[in-house]
Structure 1
């Protein structure tokens, strides 16, 4: 039931957004289903600028209406757990290094390079960021350019950040094909209002998506990110591939996942063995118990009504005779 409520909520938001920009964006491009799912796969990062070695992560991600939990592990002592909330637009992460020390901190998902790890696993973040920008007309300008046949289109979001004597322009260009997000290019440009000069737009990142899931069409199974470092020729490159997408139990909230993770962290036990299947089984047991209780109560209520009816029938016959 909760899954369908989420779908209906997203669809309503999409329709409202399409009404606001009725002349520019067809509703079909924003009416997508993002169910609660578990995604597992591999991530390879090559980054000569920051001396990252080529690494493969096992990924467990939990997607919710406004919250996400990501667990990454490379099996060599390096673990990351991300928690992201769209309302606050910030995320927490826990990490365990090779020296078995645990760290916890809050990081802004705009100003830190650690957010790249989050973005690589979150197509939902991109899609919801579009909806968020649509609801903030003062913060962003939007332009939709469809193809002649209407099957493809380019969505351009431009955000202006004004500072004393300086203006920063951020532009994100999303390319859609048959209602699927194919790629995203993000540019940044600085404007010096005092001198009246401007920088050339700088391409920060190019993201490509492919091999979309046959059941959840909004989720690509493969992706490639190419991050530029301004003033340097070196780049941060990454490729990822999902090998499995499955639905998770209804009622499994991000808080529940975080509580499970935090409890293990407090006990100095890294929860690498904690998987969605375990949480699913726990949640299924909880739902089964609740269902059994409700069925039992309903059965007792039905039996009481039946006894009351029989008693009423016998009493009425006694009075009639």
Structure 2
């Protein structure tokens, strides 16, 4: 009788990916933590996988280090240059970063890409206009575009002007975001930049001359949406690292309160997700793993990089 049983293949059971209904928020839970011994402080991190991340040291000493969550150093790049968010990772785990060399005392600035096997380095963009200096770069997970925060280099101490430019995956300049609809400049110095799920461009902006700080959000086309300067009650935000999550929340480190704030895509403060977490003296940089739904947090002075889980994924299968 058993020999007459026939098995019919009706298809594989597949996990539904990218469905927000399968994700729920919870209190943040520490997942892993590692001390970075190679650098004096953690200025910026870019997660590669759930167990690998790139990190760089203080502004002016731009050695980029690839680490695993056991603390091992796997690779180094010593030619990085920029402000804080000077590197990013694309969807095939390649490192993309800002670089600068001098020839005859003239800076030659470029955006470089390092292959995932660390064997091939290519130049994506060569920047020829030396009146503008790149400060940070971010690779869009939506289409692979590169968003670059720029600062105008002027001999005038009174001028502090910034902009965001977009390159497509082939290195062609496709967009410049600089002014609102009244002609007022949107940026001073863009230190960190990211892109939300809805295409909104989110940047940490600052002006060390005046003390101005804000998170600046524009639509993908460049139309200004809002400035976020902190919760309704509390000190003004002094932002550093920034990222967005699967719910399009904006997460930003606040250097004044040493907390990680969470706001909605529409400028509503939700809560302090992390407040002076143990082992993280100064949350300074953020990166979000969209596959594992882990939040990476780097402490500036403590040289600690930790991952937290505050989004739970519920498996839902379909034929």
The structure whose residues are more often strand, as a share, is 2
TM-score > 0.5, shorter chain as reference? no
Taking structure 2 as the reference length, the TM-score comes to 0.29
Which has the bigger relative contact order, CA under 8 A and spacing at least 6?
2
Taking structure 1 as the reference length, the TM-score comes to 0.29
The structure whose residues are more often helix, as a share, is 1
